[in-house]
Structure 1
Amino acid sequence: MKVMIVSWEYPPVVVGGLGRHVHHLATELVAQGHDIVVLTRRPTGTDAVSHPTTDSRVDGVRIVAVAEDPPEFEFGHDMMAWTLAMGHSFVRAGLKVIGGERNSPESSAWVPDVVHAHDWLVAHPAITLAEFFDVPLVSTIHATEAGRHSGWVSGRTNRQVHSVEWWLASESDSLITCSASMRDEVTRLFGPDIPDVSVIHNGIDIRTWPFAPRRTRSAPAELMFAGRLEYEKGVQDLLAALPRIRRSHPGTTLTIAGTGTQQDWLIEQARRHRVTKAVRFLGAVDHEGLVALMHRCAAIVLPSRYEPFGIVALEAAATGAPLVVSTAGGLGEAVTEATTGLTFAPGDVAGLATAVRAALGDPAASATRAVRARERLTEEFSWGEVAERTAGVYLAAKRRVRHPIGRPHIPERPLPERDPGQSD
């Protein structure tokens, strides 16, 4: 099939796990014989002079990376305007570069069989291009604005994002989520008139996350967190639990790899809990650095309060790092309690401390669970399996009859009281 994938992230422009997901999916689809074009963007804050649009082929995938238009929008301050401007540039590239010059007999137009959108930021171009080419629109919903904010979308920007997510879900001909919990969330938020939702877990290329058996520890344990430093990732709960962990396991340290809007607030939380000297904030860490940290740590702790899937858990499991994770969303599906890792309820600081203590108190059992976790990866989470199932969704998708739709009803209720570090 000819597939146009539309994503605001694609290497080297990667903000989070979405970029890696789209990259692995695209390359595996090509390996299985499909013709893939990825429509993506150049780095934020650039322009057509410094970073012009490129049209290249990498690993068999044709990548059209679109230059930013000159109007000055900043994602952090003008998110919706910036997103609309990006979408406009994507549409022009999709029509001109990918579609070819339709009025020119010398031009060879590339027309997709399906358009695949990844998240709300590309809703406008994906919907427009699917309509223009008159082909099915498949959308993967990786997360929702309501989910990131405990179910509420009372802020102005929150409501705008939610309404675009609802529109994308309503205009799609088939939907994909990365976990059963996300399927239920999407159905609850955007149903009942949305199309069928298929659950296709994220995958992992275990070749890039080499396994290393756990070594016998003589020094104090080192815990690790890897991910974005945002409120929903729950790092504040891990910092709150660290004093309890250190009482039963003196000298335990925590290494935090990642960046995000909450970093300064989390540093303050470390001071508040008097664990500053036991915590290292490394900032962004490259792939080799992450692998080295995972090989070295006594356990990786992922305390998410909201997690559509949690691909870091797969990456850590591939390296042999013992898993201690919350049961939020997809994490609860990816990790089986006492079999492939230890779990605790989201936001439960006492439960988090208990689970980490159990992992540190029996290193042999932790190592055994880590081996089981890696074995499960090769069976259930290969990118080959993900691509094959995604192609099945493409083949089954049929363009639905369109009817005018009104604006969504969004309850105007306040967000629950939150910690001061949580962003809108």
Structure 2
Amino acid sequence: MRVLIVSWEYPPVVVGGLGRHVHHLAVELARAGHDVVVLSRQPGGSDGLSHPGSDRACEGVRVIAASEDPPHFVFGEDMMAWVLAMGHSLIRAGLKLGDSKNLGAKGPWIPDVVHAHDWLVAHPAIALAEHFDVPLVSTFHATEAGRHSGWVSGRVNKQVHSVEWWLAAESDALITCSVSMHDEVNRLFGPELSEIHTIHNGIDIDAWPFAARTPTNSGPELLFAGRLEYEKGLQDAIAALARVRRTHPGTTLTVAGDGTQLAWLQDVARKHRVSRAVRFVGSVDRVGLTTLLHRCDAIVLPSRYEPFGIVALEAAATGAPLVTSTAGGLGEAVTDGVTGMSFAPGDVTGLTAAIRGTLSDPDATQNRAIAARHRVAEGFAWNQVAQRTAGVYLGAKRRIRRPLGRPNIVERPLPERDPAKPVDITLP
């Protein structure tokens, strides 16, 4: 198949986990024999002179990176205007795919399917699928309501939510990375949606070498890796650390990552009188994170909202013992007492007990870490993710389009789904 993937991040422009996901998926689809074009962008804050648009082949994938237009928009200050401007540049670059006059010897390239990743590329993905008259498949990696505990009462929250709703309504098939995200998308944007498929994220296990833990003379070291945002729950880990240190003196917490809540989280550490035991090291690359994972006695992922949590797979691959909340995809990636220790989101008492149980029984902890490594190796390979995604492409049919009215935006959190109702999923 000819697959056009539209994503606002793709190496070397990577903002977070979405960019890594799209990269691995595109490369594996190409290895499987599909003709893959990724339509993405040049770095934010650049322009056509400093970073002109490019069209290159990399790892079997054709990558088209559109340059930013001259108008001055800053993502953090003018988010919706910036997103719309980016969409315009992606549309123009995408339209040239089918125009032989602009591509010389390459000739026209018409996709069989357009695959959008998240709301930021809704406008170009919908426009290009309509222009080429092919099915639109959309992957929802998270939702605005989910990131804000179900609330979309702010002006920008409503705008983002409405674009997500539009993308879901226009899609001929949808993909989510966990069963919880499947439920979330259905509750927020349903019920008249195309089929929703659940395909877990993958991992390149060879990039995360395994190492068994060895006892040290220093105090236990816990690790947090992720964005410093409220929904990631680091504040709960800091609160738990104060309690853990009463039974396990000298325990420390290393924090790898950055975000908007750094100053607040430092205040939380001071409030709980553990400032000297919490070390903020900022963002780290894969090599640096691997070193931290090999050194820690456990990685603590206390998310209050987590569509999937790919860092849990990366940690499991390295053999780092897992202590995770059951939020979203983490509850599906980690089996309590088998591949890690789990607790309810926001439950500091449960988190404290999970950490203490991990530190107090090294043999059982090591067995769980080995089991987690085996599960990751067997069920989360990227070639399996690509195979399942290609199956969604093949099954997607372009529906008859009808005019859509504006969405009815519910500002209050929606109730959870009835767990007795069946869910169509594609699991590893």
With structure 2 as the length reference, what TM-score do the two structures score?
0.95
Look up the match of 2:174: 175
Aligned to 2:217, the other structure's residue is in SS state coil
**Deviation for aligned residue 1:265:** 1.0
Measured against aligned partners, the alpha-carbon deviations of 1:117-171 in whole angstroms (never above 9, x if no partner) come to 0000000000000000000000000000001111110000000000000000000
**Deviation for aligned residue 1:100:** 2.7
Tell me, in whole angstroms, the C-alpha distance in 2 between the residues paired with 1:413 and 1:369.
39
Measured against aligned partners, the alpha-carbon deviations of 1:91-118 in whole angstroms (never above 9, x if no partner) come to 000012x223469996610110000000
Aligned to 1:388, the other structure's residue is in SS state helix
Look up the match of 1:294: 293
Tell me, in whole angstroms, the C-alpha distance in 2 between the residues paired with 1:197 and 1:106.
39
What code does the residue aligned with 1:17 have?
G
Aligned to 2:89, the other structure's residue is in SS state helix
Look up the match of 2:91: 91
Aligned pairs for 1:168-247 (under 5 A) are 168-247=167-246
Look up the match of 1:421: none
Look up the match of 1:71: 71
What code does the residue aligned with 1:94 have?
G
Aligned pairs for 1:28-39 (under 5 A) are 28-39=28-39
Answering whether residue 259 of structure 2 is matched by residue 260 of structure 1, we say: yes
Contact kept? 1:205, 1:383, Cα under 8 Å: yes
Aligned pairs for 1:272-311 (under 5 A) are 272-311=271-310
What code does the residue aligned with 1:192 have?
P
**Root mean square deviation, CA, Å:** 1.4
Contact kept? 1:179, 1:333, Cα under 8 Å: yes
Look up the match of 1:40: 40
1:103–1:337 Cα change, 3 Å: closer
Contact kept? 1:5, 1:37, Cα under 8 Å: yes
1:322–1:105 Cα change, 3 Å: closer
Answering whether residue 345 of structure 2 is matched by residue 373 of structure 1, we say: no
Look up the match of 2:322: 323
Contact kept? 2:325, 2:344, Cα under 8 Å: yes
Aligned to 1:198, the other structure's residue is in SS state strand
What code does the residue aligned with 1:245 have?
V
Look up the match of 2:53: 53
Look up the match of 2:426: none
Measured against aligned partners, the alpha-carbon deviations of 1:35-61 in whole angstroms (never above 9, x if no partner) come to 100001111111111111111111011
Percent pairwise identity:
70
Contact kept? 1:100, 1:107, Cα under 8 Å: no
Contact kept? 1:232, 1:305, Cα under 8 Å: yes
1:203–1:414 Cα change, 3 Å: closer
Tell me, in whole angstroms, the C-alpha distance in 1 between the residues paired with 2:248 and 2:344.
22
Range 123-132 or range 256-265, more displaced = 256-265
Tell me, in whole angstroms, the C-alpha distance in 1 between the residues paired with 2:146 and 2:87.
24
With structure 1 as the length reference, what TM-score do the two structures score?
0.96
Look up the match of 1:13: 13
Tell me, in whole angstroms, the C-alpha distance in 1 between the residues paired with 2:380 and 2:71.
42
Look up the match of 1:136: 135
Contact kept? 1:154, 1:414, Cα under 8 Å: no
Unpaired runs of 5+ in structure 1?
Answer: 416-424
Contact kept? 2:150, 2:413, Cα under 8 Å: no
**Deviation for aligned residue 1:217:** 3.0
1:351–1:48 Cα change, 3 Å: same
Tell me, in whole angstroms, the C-alpha distance in 1 between the residues paired with 2:333 and 2:366.
17
**Deviation for aligned residue 1:241:** 1.0
Look up the match of 1:158: 157
Contact kept? 1:118, 1:142, Cα under 8 Å: yes
Task: Could you list the structure 1 runs, at least 4 aligned residues long, displaced by more than 6 angstroms after superposition.
Answer: 103-107
Tell me, in whole angstroms, the C-alpha distance in 2 between the residues paired with 1:354 and 1:104.
61
Tell me, in whole angstroms, the C-alpha distance in 2 between the residues paired with 1:255 and 1:106.
53
Aligned to 1:267, the other structure's residue is in SS state helix
